[in-house]
Structure 1
Amino acid sequence: MTQERADAARNRAKILAAAAELVADKGIEGLGMAEVAAASGVGVGTLYRRFGDRSGLAYALIDAKEREFQEAFLSGPPPLGPGAPSGERVRAFLHGLVDRTFAQLDLLLMAETAGPFARFGGAYEAYHRHLSLLIADANPSADAPFAADALLAPLAANLVIHRGRPPAALKSGLDELLHGVLASPT
């Protein structure tokens, strides 16, 4: 793997910052290649060479936030990161994922609806594996893989938009589901 040149890394950071600001201000419609190039101070050709097209730029924005979130739940401080009981970590993870979803809802909608299995790519599999392990540890009698899918389902971007539930309501609903998942059978 080749090392990214320092100037290329700086340009990438400027481009992603400008793109994120445009999306925050204008929504996904604001993510035009010419607008991002102008806002970041790079040429449109640089943008196309680097990201291919608008969707490549959107995926780069998602990827940057995804890396931050995964770093937090894999090695960050508890309760999201290691060091807290598994049940607490599941709750912190789900609440963090709600926040992460709302932070890039339009971008995630675009990415998750790109194809029939687009939602189930690398990030979903990482979430599923992480939740399955934590659930199995917290409640060995649970069907952890099924429970992980059930807990992740309400966070599909299209369902979040369709239902219109605010973050607090989603977190509360997930807490209720989680209570049932972690309860041991009597």
Structure 2
Amino acid sequence: MTERKPRKDAVRNREAVLAAADVLFTRCESPADVTMADIATAAGVGKGTLFRAFGDRTGLIRALYAARLEPVREAIEEGPPPLGPATPPLERVPALLDAVLCFKLDNRHLALALEGNGSDSPYRAEHYERWHTLLHDMLERIPGLTDSAFTAHALLAAVRADLVEHLAGHEGLPREEMRGHLASFAAALLGTRPRGG
């Protein structure tokens, strides 16, 4: 049985909705300000189209987040060093954390909307489980490191969207300073020295 291709207008509508949501989340003061009605109006589609395509607001946010994250995912799964799979874990773990931090800095409102939607524990979200599994697997390959599952959680806690928003948005911590603090934190946990340190 062959899988049915989506109709051209459905594909076009989906792209319009994701583009409209992208703009609205980028420009908003708070992710909670962006409603499905706002997105439908900006995309030039009916609200029913949104619900049919994405299920609900969380489904739409997940789809937009996944689309934006795709280049990072590709770099991690198939790319060259320092993110790619051929990189030794002691170098790859800090590179992965830095990539996640930079992604969340560049997509603060969207990351906040996804991680703070209140519908479920953020630790059971698909994107979190993917990052945790990847980090856990890398940490398992580092000799002498114990409790790699907890260490993966601790490292991911340092790049939670609410912390990134607090540091960047409320405290005004510059991007490069945040990246430096994260590199030092990872190095301390891993027993290495940060690059340039």
Structure 2 counterpart of 1:181, one-letter code = L
Residues 116 and 159 of structure 1: CA distance in aligned 2, closer, same or farther (over 3 Å): farther
State which of 29, 41, 44 in structure 2 corresponds to 1:41: 44
Structure 1 counterpart of 2:52, one-letter code = R
Pairwise CA distance, 1:145:
1.9
Separation in 2, partners of 1:111, 1:178: 25
Provide structure 2 residue ranges, at least 5 long, that are not aligned to the other structure: 193-197
Q: For the Cα contact (< 8 Å) 1:22–1:31, is it kept in 2? A: yes
81-90 or 62-71, which deviates more: 62-71
State which of 120, 124, 129 in structure 2 corresponds to 1:120: 124
Q: For the Cα contact (< 8 Å) 1:19–1:36, is it kept in 2? A: yes
Pairwise CA distance, 1:62:
1.7
Structure 2 counterpart of 1:175, one-letter code = A
Pairwise CA distance, 1:35:
2.8
- Identity of matched residues, %: 37
* 2:103 corresponds to 1:104: no
Pairwise CA distance, 1:2:
4.3
Residues 72 and 2 of structure 1: CA distance in aligned 2, closer, same or farther (over 3 Å): farther
Separation in 1, partners of 2:136, 2:45: 43
Where 1:78 maps in the other structure, the secondary structure is coil
Pairwise CA distance, 1:23:
1.4
State which of 169, 189, 196 in structure 2 corresponds to 1:181: 189
Separation in 1, partners of 2:131, 2:36: 31
Separation in 1, partners of 2:52, 2:190: 48
Q: For the Cα contact (< 8 Å) 2:97–2:159, is it kept in 1? A: no
State which of 1, 21, 24 in structure 1 corresponds to 2:23: 21
Residues 63-74 of structure 1: matches in 2 within 5 Å? 63-74=66-77
Residue correspondences, number: 183
Which runs of 4 or more aligned residues in structure 1 lie more than 4 Å from their structure 2 counterparts after TM superposition? none
Residues 13 and 170 of structure 1: CA distance in aligned 2, closer, same or farther (over 3 Å): same
Provide structure 1 residue ranges, at least 5 long, that are not aligned to the other structure: none
* 2:94 corresponds to 1:91: yes
Q: For the Cα contact (< 8 Å) 1:111–1:119, is it kept in 2? A: no
Structure 2 counterpart of 1:174, one-letter code = L
Greater relative contact order structure (CA < 8 Å, 6+ sep): 2
State which of 157, 178, 184 in structure 2 corresponds to 1:170: 178
Q: For the Cα contact (< 8 Å) 2:32–2:113, is it kept in 1? A: no
Pairwise CA distance, 1:115:
4.4
For 1:66-96, what per-residue CA distance to the aligned partner results, in whole angstroms no more than 9, with x for missing partners? 3443222111232111222222211211110
For 1:106-135, what per-residue CA distance to the aligned partner results, in whole angstroms no more than 9, with x for missing partners? 232233231462243221121112112222
Structure ranking higher in helix proportion = 1
TM-score, structure 2 as length reference: 0.79
Residues 11 and 115 of structure 1: CA distance in aligned 2, closer, same or farther (over 3 Å): closer
Residues 25 and 78 of structure 1: CA distance in aligned 2, closer, same or farther (over 3 Å): same
Separation in 2, partners of 1:48, 1:150: 36
